[in-house]
């Protein structure tokens, strides 16, 4: 096991006080906090070698270009992808999904084709598909979920057919913390010649991801949800598919030859990374992944399992709490309602007690409806949270219930 005190001291924000009291950060599914190593790496770029990449012939540009490209290798190995060209830097998970919807889908979808999407998806993995399928006259078919918010595999097997060309699915739910069986979904999809995009936004900070063994066609995530900076993310795609992809943005850095009347596209990955990228963000993401690796997923999983078990039994023991799930989650995410009290009221009172949770529709209105709710309180934990924080959270919740 790792040393929790030391881990917490890696994250400077965790020692912040409000009204001279510590605070509890239970909104890790929205964004994680950043270790000093990531903050230092971003500062270091601007302080010591700020320069654009891939263009200057001078020492600063060499340094930033090298660091930027080294991060591509770090991400490739983090996802266990085969090639560096299969890693595209984006502004986040949302941009990655939009790139597939508007740069790949349009290359082969015909009117009447079908796209299967889980009913529990985050808006980022639903709205772009709605817009793209409207334009292409394709049809979105919803996939039913089981009571814990994972894809109901018998429904999936019923709905897959030769008209289905694409499946968009989250790896781990941002509401229930339960995990979809991606490997099986990909295997069945491929037997029907359909492609699969996996939204890994809620997975990469909790478990080791291996795109090779999952055999997904596209996988995406955001840096800020795995201890990296905001404004940076990743789209992994199999090389032959990325080669078929049309860029969303055109301009510098992504071209081959340009004449005044015409231009040819450059090679992967630059073809899909027009303009100056978020260099500091990408380098910071590399530091975040190195930080995760230094802890090790075995340790992370073990620490989070203990926290999740404690939270699960504490919430289950409370009469007035209606949890969104029937079985303990695979990652430490707990969405629930305090019976008869609006989630915003609970969130506001918890904030007064220095506890940060997410409330409302959690950017997934159809999913919330599916779970027969109008909004949840969501406490999402991370390995740097403590058992004591859970105890304080539960007693704060009891106070809220008494007050309202």
| Residues within the interface to ligand PLP (CB under 6 A) | 92-94, 122, 124-125, 170, 174, 199, 201-202, 222, 363
Are the beta carbons of 101 and 138 closer than 8 angstroms?
no
The separation between CA 332 and the C-alpha centre of its own chain, rounded to angstroms, equals: 14
Beta carbon of residue 128, minimum distance to ligand PLP (angstroms, whole number): 11
Active site residue 363: yes
Beta carbon of residue 233, minimum distance to ligand PLP (angstroms, whole number): 6
The separation between CA 323 and the C-alpha centre of its own chain, rounded to angstroms, equals: 23
State the Cα–Cα distance between residues 42 and 357, nearest whole angstrom.
27
Per the listing, tokens 């409806």 go with 369
Q: Which is nearer to ligand PLP, 7 or 79 (CB)?
A: 79
State the Cα–Cα distance between residues 49 and 38, nearest whole angstrom.
16
Q: Which is nearer to ligand PLP, 331 or 385 (CB)?
A: 331
Beta carbon of residue 97, minimum distance to ligand PLP (angstroms, whole number): 7
Q: Which is nearer to ligand PLP, 288 or 401 (CB)?
A: 288
State the Cα–Cα distance between residues 33 and 358, nearest whole angstrom.
15
Angle separating helix axes 279-295 and 297-316, nearest 10 degrees: 80
State the Cα–Cα distance between residues 154 and 163, nearest whole angstrom.
18
State the Cα–Cα distance between residues 275 and 75, nearest whole angstrom.
21
Q: Which is nearer to ligand PLP, 146 or 230 (CB)?
A: 230
What is the four-CA torsion angle of 171, 332, 397, 327, rounded to 10 degrees?
80
Beta carbon of residue 291, minimum distance to ligand PLP (angstroms, whole number): 19
| Annotated catalytic residue within 43, 101, 186, 363 | 363
Q: Which is nearer to ligand PLP, 353 or 363 (CB)?
A: 363
Beta carbon of residue 20, minimum distance to ligand PLP (angstroms, whole number): 32
The residues carrying an active-site annotation are 363
């Amino acid at each position: 096991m790792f040393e929790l005190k030391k881990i917490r001291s890696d994250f400077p924000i965790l020692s912040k006080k409000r009204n001279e009291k510590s605070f509890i950060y239970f909104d890790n599914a929205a964004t994680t906090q950043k270790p000093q190593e990531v903050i230092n790496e971003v500062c270091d770029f601007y302080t010591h070698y700020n320069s654009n990449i891939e263009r200057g012939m001078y020492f600063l540009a060499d340094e930033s270009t090298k660091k930027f490209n080294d991060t591509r290798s770090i991400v490739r190995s983090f996802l266990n992808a085969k090639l560096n060209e299969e890693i595209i830097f984006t502004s986040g998970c949302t941009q990655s999904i939009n790139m597939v919807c508007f740069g790949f889908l349009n290359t082969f979808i015909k009117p009447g084709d079908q796209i299967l999407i889980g009913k529990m998806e985050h808006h980022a993995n639903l709205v772009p598909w709605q817009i793209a399928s409207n334009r292409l006259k394709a049809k979105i078919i919803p996939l039913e979920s089981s009571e814990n918010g994972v894809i109901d595999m018998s429904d999936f097997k019923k709905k897959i057919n030769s008209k289905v060309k694409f499946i968009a699915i989250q790896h781990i739910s941002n509401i229930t913390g339960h995990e979809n069986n991606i490997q099986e979904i990909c295997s069945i999809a491929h037997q029907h010649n359909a492609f699969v995009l996996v939204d890994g936004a809620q997975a990469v900070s909790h478990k080791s991801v291996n795109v090779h063994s999952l055999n997904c066609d596209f996988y995406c995530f955001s840096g800020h949800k795995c201890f990296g900076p905001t404004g940076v993310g990743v789209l992994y795609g199999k090389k032959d598919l990325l080669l078929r992809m049309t860029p969303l943005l055109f301009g510098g850095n992504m071209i081959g030859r340009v004449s005044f009347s015409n231009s040819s596209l450059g090679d992967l990955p630059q073809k899909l990374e027009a303009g100056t990228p978020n260099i500091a963000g990408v380098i910071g993401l590399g530091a975040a992944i190195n930080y995760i690796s230094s802890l090790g997923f075995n340790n992370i999983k073990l620490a989070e399992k203990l926290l999740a078990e404690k939270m699960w039994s504490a919430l289950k023991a409370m009469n007035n709490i209606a949890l969104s799930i029937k079985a303990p989650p695979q990652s430490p995410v707990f969405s629930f309602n305090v019976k008869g009290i609006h989630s915003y009221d609970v969130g506001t009172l918890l904030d007064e007690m220095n506890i940060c949770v997410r409330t409302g529709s959690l950017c997934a209105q159809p999913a919330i409806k599916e779970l027969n709710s109008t909004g949840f309180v969501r406490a999402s934990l991370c390995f740097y949270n403590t058992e004591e924080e859970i105890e304080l959270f539960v007693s704060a919740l009891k106070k809220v219930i008494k007050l309202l």
